[in-house]
Amino acid sequence: MLLEDAVLVVAHPDDEILWFSSIIEYVEKVVVCFLGNEAKYPERAAKRQRVLDRHPIDMTCLGLDVDTPEPAVHDALVQEVDGYTFALTHNPWGEYGHPLHVQTNRTVSRIVDNVWFSNYAHQRIQKVWAPEEPFTLPTDRALAHQVRDLYIEEGCWTAPRGYQWPTFEMFARFPHSEERSNHPFPLHVLDW
């Protein structure tokens, strides 16, 4: 897998570093879908935008509100990811069950044929089977801490302050319906 030909698509600012610290510097493009929830947290979008303006990785932010209808999310993403050979995004269960992570996975999977996802999961998820062997990369803890500190400084970090990144991250290819899963996919179990 050549990450230079890949696009990384995440739902929110800070997802790029929480779930993809090992690959964010190597993909060709990073796309962030949702900037905030104007109705519920009007100040969060501005805080997140300030982090993105100072972020060490150049990212494309669609700036969508969390209430944006799925067809509009799809149309916005097509403009950014169409033509890529493969994409990396949230896993089908949304890491800890976040509905916008699940929606992002489903939307990207409708646009790009070759989609890979991360191995983070809430403790409710016990086993996942991947259609082929996953690839593993070391997390970039120095970059992760640098970016986490930007989010904390702006008051928009969404993970627990004491969150510790695992040593490695794994990524598996999203199975097509005709494929049978026969490889266990080790999970990083979250306790939050």
Share of the chain above pLDDT 70, in %: 84
**pLDDT classification of 124: cutoffs 50, 70, 90:** low
Closest CA to 51 of 43, 88, 9: 43
Which band of pLDDT confidence, cut at 50, 70 and 90, is reported for residue 85? confident
* Residues of the chain by 3-state class (helix, strand, coil), percent to 5: 35, 25, 40
Tell me the CB-side half-sphere exposure of residue 38, using CA atoms within 13 A: 5
Instruction: Write out the two tokens for 99.
Output: 């509905």
The CATH T-level fold of domain 3-190 is Rossmann fold (3.40.50)
Identify the H or E element spanning 46. helix 42-54
- 30 has a pLDDT exceeding 90: yes
What is the pTM (predicted TM-score) of this model? Answer: 0.88
Q: Residue 12: which pLDDT band, with cuts at 50, 70 and 90?
A: very high
The reported pLDDT for the residue numbered 127 is 63
Share of residues in the chain with pLDDT > 90 (%): 60
